[in-house]
Amino acid sequence: MTGELSGILEHVDRIAALDLDDVAPTSHVVELENVLRADVPHESLPQDVALASAPDPVDGAFRVPSPQAE
Amino acid sequence: MLELTAVQAHEAMSAGELDADEYAEAWKEAAAGDDLNAYLWRDENGDGAAIAVERPCVAPIAVKDIFCTEGVPTTAGSRVLEGYRPPYTSTAVRRLIEAGAPILGKTNMDEFAMGSSNENSAYGPVLNPWDRGRVPGGSSGGSAAVVAGGLAPWSIGTDTGGSIRQPAALCGLVGLKPTYGAISRYGMIAFASSLDQCGPLTRDVSDAALLLAILQGADPCDSTSVGLEQAPRLPDREDLKGLRFAVPNDLAQHVFDAGVREVFEATLEKIEALGGEVGEVSLPHAEHGISAYYVIAPAEASSNLARYDGVRYGMRAGGDEDLITMYEKTRSEGFGAEVKRRIMLGTYALSSGYYDAYYGQAQKVRTKIAADFSAAFDEFDFVVTPTSPSVAFGLGEKTADPLAMYLNDFFTVPMSLAGIPAISIPAGLAEPSGGGPQLPVGFQIAAPAFGEQKLLEAAHALEQAIGFDARPEGVPGG
Amino acid sequence: MRWSRRSALTPGRRGFPVAELEAVIGLEIHVQLATKTKMFCGCELSFGEEPNIHTCPICLAHPGVLPVTNEQAIRYALQIAAALECEVAPRSIFHRKNYFYPDSPKAYQISQYDIPLASNGRLGDIRIHRAHLEEDAAKTIHVGESGRIHGSSASLVDFNRGGTPLVEIVTEPDLRSAAEAASWARLLRETVRQLGVSDVNMEEGSLRVDGNISVRPVGSEELGTKTELKNMNSFRFLERGIEAELARQRELIEAGGTVAQETLHFNPGDGTLTPLRSKEEAHDYRYFPEPDLVPLAPTEAMLREARESLPELPAARIERYREQMGLADDTAALLATDPETAAYFERTAKEAGEGVEPRVVANWVTGELAAALRQADGGASAAESKVEPAALAALVAMVQEKKISNSSGKAVLATLVTEGGDPAAIVEREGLAQISDSGELEAVVAAAVEANPEAAEQIRAGNQKAIGAIVGAVMKETKGRADGGEVNRLIKQKLDS
């Protein structure tokens, strides 16, 4: 994996050599602004549907192991 | 009736000459004969109730397994979503259902759309119906294989760096990547958010136009969607008079197969025969497209795929240990090698101290590529290239060297970075450089943003002139 | 120059003289907006209900979902920006802040990074560095012994709260004491509350205040290493926590140590500070612009709407009361945090007209009236009471013009509180008019002096306090209708004569 990654990085590193100081980076492809949604409630999922795919549903909540004890 | 294109079938259904249910049933049966590993799910047990179409009036369709379909397994070709059934349906599929297109099945794909050969699927590779020892292309390999292999009349896929166009080319189909924002991404499992687009894989340009008309439109669920100014019409152009086509210079060195180059040159001649003008243009930054793409796409992917953590849905491993172990085991066991590779690349490209040199720089290259196309379109109507540097290659041929695989996207990536529409149409057959039976070659045409109608018209005219009617052995039609 | 005794006496320590240290405090505030729905999806906000009943594929971060920005959250954020006199960015964008934690379902929080919605503002004496929009995390309940991260075996995640709109406000490190920080935080809280954009309740979590604390020698312009202080969920705890941390840093430096950058958790039980190995420690969030959302470019109309929607906010009101109306600082502050009573005061002052100083009216409202209301009604507000502003104004004027005595005034007020009505009518009815006929009063004074020869003797001898007995006698005779000052004067006059 490391070998593959360095090979790829070598290739992408080519762009580092380009002089693009005066160029603005593209952060958004579409020229849109202020696309907003009205503050109107939609129907939320019933609790059982929200938990339907949960690997470990407990008492209506998603159970996960805790971070390791210190 | 399986030889009808979707447009022909639609006309026949509207005229009362074709029974829609019978037609849908016939395709369902055909789909059941899948020996290409192209389908990951078909509605055999009636568990597609939530996405059922009551009264079909449009040809049934295959859908890449990257589109969420309520109650129906959606895996994105990954182990990490094995068995996952979404609680909602993507906008694209909803529009298909509302248009009356029954969903034939979910097609196999490269895991999380990362790949150019469909060999990165956790559910096995897809076989190219033209030659079962070869790849169909990727990441929409399944969607291409079902249409080329007579298992579906048409399909939808996604294209981030070429994942519709390249498999279309390798399978002798039409594949369209629309302008970024033309079709809603809501419900389309994200790979690279600023590049992903839904699009058609069809047998001809008219079918692609019909599918685009069904799918396109601004969606309140997708802030980046704008739709097209006007609904696409079925193309009817017959010549290319007055249209100017630009060929990027320095092209030849990036083509692998001599046969691909020959078909490309022959197609340019056909353009001229139709009254079109062919010229040369310089796209100085397009050659850096791969470098920029393989920074931006993995960077966004590293963030988009972080939600697969075993907490709320999908696969979980190590759940009885501690939190970090659960995260690590779930993702290590759930993701394939290519996905891991790109997540690592992407994480690196975004990390503090490296952001400017990688992600920042790549986004600047992107600005320049878009500017190069803009300048080209000041003088020309279209930019044309071969879609893929080679015809379909053998299974396992390029899996050892990821970079070699990435270079398959050389011609398709720049259009994705610029957000402009591009279509691949089958232009002929060619022998692979290693010798063997002839395989399809794709011709790519790119147009300015939101220029879909002009693009479809030109592609249609050229397609008629080319008259590509080859089919894999045993597949009806032609 | 303050020398550390310990360092001077302890051999082996560096024992260098420690200059006077000053506190340098900045606050980081999170305000939960009181919109109807979440920041990026249409789920309703929830208040301590059953878990996971206000969720959807978007706030659960299912595959394929996309955020869509709540327009009311933008509106509220612009109001906050206007109230804090911030510059609003002509074009700001959202960023992804990437980190793994169960309460972060996308494994990134949509926030704002280098181009926030607002910056460079001020509230009172404190500068605002920036204010931006983001979404709240979900709630993780650690199921185990202590209920905190350490020592628990599993966690349960409830996504009801996840996605609630937040405005994060960061101040410059302009605060110089724990008391000032708590007081300013109260001003901020009241300001935001009066905008109507948030409940700003610290105990409920709709207002969260963290502190960034460091110390440095007085006169230095450089900033010392700062620590971050979290989990102070009341203004009192905020003050105590900051004080404790300042003390800790001072002691550390005086002992020759250096402050390490860390995050500390305030323990409300005993006021101690515990270093946190938080999920945010030394984290690289790999910020990049959010590709699923488009930029915010507030229009002139949106900005104007925000500015015009502002009520007169506490800071401005305090200023106006002090400068234009001559109110004392604390009276002004009291009224500014109680808009209804402030409105009542202003109506009353207007009714009283130019003859009565606003300061006098304010003292009646916040003093006598408040006391009378507490007595009678257990705390109804002035605006809710039966005392009409016009009535109070008339009463204040009558007392000022000495038509009735102070104590009569209080009696009338008590009646107004229970019955309402017109003070003049009450005075007439109860016969409380001040004795304005000096002849009548002189006669009563003379009688009282005669009836209290011992007191008179003492006064003549120089004991002024004895006058109280005679004053009392006069008041009794007149049933409190005499003006106390006038009575004093007449008694002295009588005794001198």
Q: What pLDDT is recorded for position C279?
A: 47
Q: What pLDDT is recorded for position C427?
A: 87
* pLDDT band at residue C18 under the 50/70/90 scheme: low
Strand-by-strand arrangement of the C95-98 sheet = C108-111, C95-98, C288-289
* pLDDT band at residue B477 under the 50/70/90 scheme: low
CA atoms within 13 A on the CB side of B62: 35
Q: What pLDDT is recorded for position B370?
A: 96
- Residue C184 DSSP SS3: helix
* pLDDT band at residue C15 under the 50/70/90 scheme: very low
> How far apart (Å, rounded) are the C-alpha atoms in residues B309 and B311?
6
Q: What is the mean pLDDT of chain B?
A: 95
> How far apart (Å, rounded) are the C-alpha atoms in residues B197 and B185?
7
CA distance B303 to chain A (A): 15
Cβ contacts of B238 within 8 Å, gap of 6 or more: B461, B464
Max Cα distance, chain A (Å): 58
> Which chain B residue has the Cα nearest residue A68?
B322
Q: Cβ separation of C91 and A46 shorter than 8 Å?
A: no
Which of B440-444, C196-200, C349-353 bottoms out in mean pLDDT, i.e. has the lowest? C349-353
Which residue of B311, B324, B407 is the best one to mutate when testing the A interface, meaning the one whose CB has the most A CBs within 10 A?
Answer: B311
Q: What pLDDT is recorded for position C102?
A: 94
> Is B374 within 8 Å of chain A by CB?
no
Are C40 and C135 a contacting pair, CB within 8 Å?
yes
- Closest-CA residue to C98 (of C61, C153, C150): C61
* pLDDT band at residue C361 under the 50/70/90 scheme: very high
Q: Give chain A's count of helices (H) and strands (E).
A: 2, 3
ipTM of this complex? 0.96
- Average of per-residue pLDDT across B410-438: 95
Q: Cβ separation of B193 and C63 shorter than 8 Å?
A: no
Q: In the complex, which subunits touch C with 3 or more CB pairs below 8 angstroms? A: A, B
User: Encoding tokens for residue C243?
Assistant: 């004080």
User: Encoding tokens for residue C174?
Assistant: 């302009």
> Is C139 within 8 Å of chain B by CB?
no
pLDDT in tens, C469-497: 888 888 888 877 777 788 888 888 888 76
> Which chain B residue has the Cα nearest residue C52?
B312
pLDDT in tens, C313-336: 998 899 999 999 999 988 998 898
Q: What is the mean pLDDT of chain C?
A: 88
CA atoms within 13 A on the CB side of C151: 4
Residues 293-332 of C with CB under 8 A from B: 293-294
Are C154 and A65 a contacting pair, CB within 8 Å?
yes
DSSP B49: G
* pLDDT band at residue C11 under the 50/70/90 scheme: very low
Which residue of C104, C288, C293, C294 is the best one to mutate when testing the B interface, meaning the one whose CB has the most B CBs within 10 A?
Answer: C288
* Type of residue numbered C394: A
> Is A44 within 8 Å of chain C by CB?
yes
> How far apart (Å, rounded) are the C-alpha atoms in residues B126 and B128?
7
CA angle B338, B252, B385 (to 5 degrees): 70
DSSP C4: P
Which of A34-38, B452-456, C271-275 bottoms out in mean pLDDT, i.e. has the lowest? C271-275
Whether C280 shows a pLDDT value over 60: the answer reads no
pLDDT in tens, C46-67: 888 899 999 999 999 999 999 9
Q: In the complex, which subunits touch A with 3 or more CB pairs below 8 angstroms? A: B, C
CA distance C62 to chain B (A): 8
Q: Cβ separation of A42 and C43 shorter than 8 Å?
A: yes
Q: Report chain A residues whose CB lies below 8 A from the CB of C105.
A: none
Are B140 and B164 a contacting pair, CB within 8 Å?
yes
Q: What pLDDT is recorded for position C56?
A: 98
Please indicate, yes or no, whether the overall pTM of this predicted structure exceeds 0.80.
yes
* pLDDT band at residue C4 under the 50/70/90 scheme: very low
Q: Cβ separation of C64 and B187 shorter than 8 Å?
A: yes
- Closest-CA residue to C434 (of C401, C463, C460): C401
Q: What pLDDT is recorded for position B429?
A: 97
Q: Cβ separation of B364 and A5 shorter than 8 Å?
A: no
- Closest-CA residue to B439 (of B210, B67, B135): B135
User: Encoding tokens for residue B412?
Assistant: 């398709």
- Closest-CA residue to C193 (of C371, C423, C20, C31): C31
* Type of residue numbered B126: V
CA distance C202 to chain A (A): 25
Q: Cβ separation of C57 and A38 shorter than 8 Å?
A: no
CB pairs under 8 A between A and C: 121
> Which chain C residue has the Cα nearest residue A30?
C294
> Which chain A residue has the Cα nearest residue B450?
A30
Strand-by-strand arrangement of the C263-267 sheet = C87-88, C118-123, C126-135, C165-171, C21-32, C207-217, C227-232, C263-267, C272-275
* pLDDT band at residue B235 under the 50/70/90 scheme: very high
> How far apart (Å, rounded) are the C-alpha atoms in residues C122 and B98?
54
Q: Where are the beta strands (DSSP E) in C115-206?
A: 118-123, 126-135, 139-144, 152-158, 165-171
> Is C149 within 8 Å of chain B by CB?
no
* pLDDT band at residue C445 under the 50/70/90 scheme: confident
